[in-house]
Structure 1
């Protein structure tokens, strides 16, 4: 490897900038290419738990993330008319809770990571472009961008999301996306007097869910979710997930949501009325990525492109942050990239496997099909929120965020040892 290796990272959300940041601390130079024309400042609430928080602490970024906290005080499940069924306040825990102690908007965390990554003058961002071709040589990789430009790098890392186009170029169908039968639409709405600092979660029979969450920007983050109880790719008001959702236009998705949620109560009418003014509408079919290998030659996968555990795992952001830290550390620890990639997978694979093991029935169990199922869910939530069975309630919202022994790479840092 060259004395100052050059790495191309595809994707400028969380995993990409985090990787560039850590590589920069080891003296590596990174170029991050992002197909969006500019930095994407939007996004919904995400959280950082367990080992992810420890990585932020080692990076010196935990306080910055804390200052950008959304202010969410806990999670409330609501019933008819918006009545409170059960509530789970934020607890002083680095791993547990439906609402984590560190809650932040995706765009705010991405901004912190991007700013940190460019502070050392070893990271460049290339917006409005993406990788179109990769040809691996003996000593480097020739990359052709969609713009037509060609450049050479020592390594390439795909960190461009669950449906990574870079992964498809290199791995083809070897890695696959496994749908979980749930579709979620995310958007921002104006804050009103009825909004609270809680994550308010409302279900109706048919597998439909409406949530509202606070942010620190004076607006409210909304989601509309639907569950499929038949085969993925079905249609109808039951909330069946369309496997072709990624090909829908925003106008088609708005029409779909109005059809699905037209008779839903609580704040659903308000959200449907706000759809036309929601410039940040984003929708996806929730799934997990299963990849037998996270590297091939000089190309590696990171973040959701490697192992998406899905938003319902509660682990997506923490996995991205920890994975970036481990991949950068292993690259800095080894002379040959093959050994680094092997170490990266050895350390991260058990952590990822745990995160992808969702509780039985998730996500359908939290989005019942029938009124009887919804009533049973409410009974279980009420019980879980009481002091008598509070420990059980805590386990319901405790992903395996700290079940990894983080290596210490501090001795490898340039000018910091």
Structure 2
């Protein structure tokens, strides 16, 4: 049986996960990435719900745990650093995960894990993007930024929420698929040697003015820092044009004197060499494909960090897309009939999952927008968190994380459980 010739734009989690399955099915897969090498950077992420099952079906659970972050839970502190609540990770293997899951990992380590398991079966071209493409009757002709031109049975845009592939697929007159939430987050890491008796955990401080300062250790000598807020979000967004130093200056101004470790963290922010500022946006569109071009992961349906389901959505989406390609290709044997049908059922099967994950994620309606801004309401919130922690009520998993996708069931595809 002839192979499908597939081009995947983006060597992130979604692109590598799809390459894993399609190369296992013996298709001819090429992955291009705009960065000059594998972009194995980024902070801590997790896998939840159906994503954990997909990871197990990939046969990668053992390798994942070898490089995972052994975070034990999340604590909330007040302005003086006193712990007011603690929510441990759920390691029972049953029920919903907490804020800290049993499957925490650094983004770069997950990408490297996926890449190492496919690099001998997949062709990678770095420092390259899709310059343009033309849909033909039986293929899509793609011209790359390196001057190379070729025809493929299928082009997949897995190039993130700012997807260049999506913009080309939708055309210049299409409505922007990105919907900003008015929430920004500054990320960076700081050197901090672990102390005797210290455990790996996350520490969150909710400050007046709808601001969150959050730290979590991932290495014995390094800690991640997150500064999240709504105040002056438009001002922060405008600073993007001025570059990293302008963003650093504005976040330093907004978080200075916020309480807890704010002065120390602002100083570390100014000196950091891995700072990144994200403006949270959900990606929504009526269709994830057009002809022989399809979108995957954040390029198609970014749910934002607000849901805690970005990585899971990419991993599960890649599994469903690969499964539908396998089903239709096995049935028809040629790309002419297989590709359109596979893309249709991929969306038909997976859209209910994403509808649940993205439900209610709108500007001015997220839990970020419901955070108290005054000292009295913050004290009430800390009291509630203390109460919930004491009685082991995991309000974070039930009311904030979007792991519960209701009645949606993970499809079974022949040959796509590599544990067997």
TM-score, normalising length: structure 1: 0.90
Alpha-carbon separation, structure 2, partners of 1:40 and 1:184: 20
Of 165-174 and 109-118, the range deviating more from structure 2: 165-174
Corresponding residue for residue 43 of structure 1: 42
What 5-or-longer segments of structure 1 have no aligned partner?
236-240
Structure 1's 113 and 86: CA in aligned 2 closer, same or farther, altered over 3 A? same
Q: Within 5 Å, which residues of 2 pair with 1:251-270?
A: 251-270=245-264
Corresponding residue for residue 372 of structure 2: 368
Alpha-carbon separation, structure 1, partners of 2:314 and 2:133: 24
How much does 1:372 deviate? 2.8
Of 187-196 and 308-317, the range deviating more from structure 2: 187-196
1:77-125 deviation per Cα after TM superposition (whole angstroms, max 9, x unaligned): 1102111111100112463201111100111111111111224x2x121
Q: Within 5 Å, which residues of 2 pair with 1:13-412?
A: 13-92=12-91, 93=93, 95-119=96-120, 121=121, 123-172=122-171, 173-174=174-175, 176-193=177-194, 196-216=199-219, 218-228=221-231, 233=234, 235=235, 241-242=236-237, 244=238, 246-334=240-328, 335=332, 336-358=338-360, 361-365=365-369, 367-387=371-391, 390=393, 392=395, 394-401=397-404, 403=406, 404-411=408-415
Do 2:320 and 2:346's aligned partners in 1 also have CA atoms closer than 8 Å? Answer: yes
Alpha-carbon separation, structure 2, partners of 1:258 and 1:220: 18
Alpha-carbon separation, structure 2, partners of 1:112 and 1:401: 26
1:122-162 deviation per Cα after TM superposition (whole angstroms, max 9, x unaligned): x1211111111111111211112223222221111111111
Alpha-carbon separation, structure 1, partners of 2:202 and 2:394: 21
What 5-or-longer segments of structure 2 have no aligned partner?
333-337
3-state SS of paired residue (2:160): coil
How much does 1:327 deviate? 0.3
Of 399-408 and 321-330, the range deviating more from structure 2: 399-408
3-state SS of paired residue (2:133): strand
Do 1:135 and 1:141's aligned partners in 2 also have CA atoms closer than 8 Å? Answer: yes
1:334-368 deviation per Cα after TM superposition (whole angstroms, max 9, x unaligned): 13211101110111101001111258942325643
Corresponding residue for residue 238 of structure 1: none
1:223-279 deviation per Cα after TM superposition (whole angstroms, max 9, x unaligned): 1111148xx62x3xxxxx52x454341111111111111222222222222234422
1:172-193 deviation per Cα after TM superposition (whole angstroms, max 9, x unaligned): 3345111112100111111245
Structure 1 segments (4+ residues) deviating >4 Å: 193-196, 358-361, 391-394
1:295-349 deviation per Cα after TM superposition (whole angstroms, max 9, x unaligned): 0010001001111111010111111000000101111111321110111011110
Corresponding residue for residue 335 of structure 2: none
Give the aligned length.
403
Structure 1's 71 and 358: CA in aligned 2 closer, same or farther, altered over 3 A? farther
Alpha-carbon separation, structure 1, partners of 2:320 and 2:224: 32
Do 2:194 and 2:221's aligned partners in 1 also have CA atoms closer than 8 Å? Answer: no
Alpha-carbon separation, structure 1, partners of 2:178 and 2:397: 30
Alpha-carbon separation, structure 2, partners of 1:315 and 1:225: 18
Alpha-carbon separation, structure 2, partners of 1:70 and 1:276: 26
Structure 1's 21 and 288: CA in aligned 2 closer, same or farther, altered over 3 A? same
Do 1:49 and 1:402's aligned partners in 2 also have CA atoms closer than 8 Å? Answer: no
Alpha-carbon separation, structure 2, partners of 1:104 and 1:341: 30
TM-score, normalising length: structure 2: 0.89
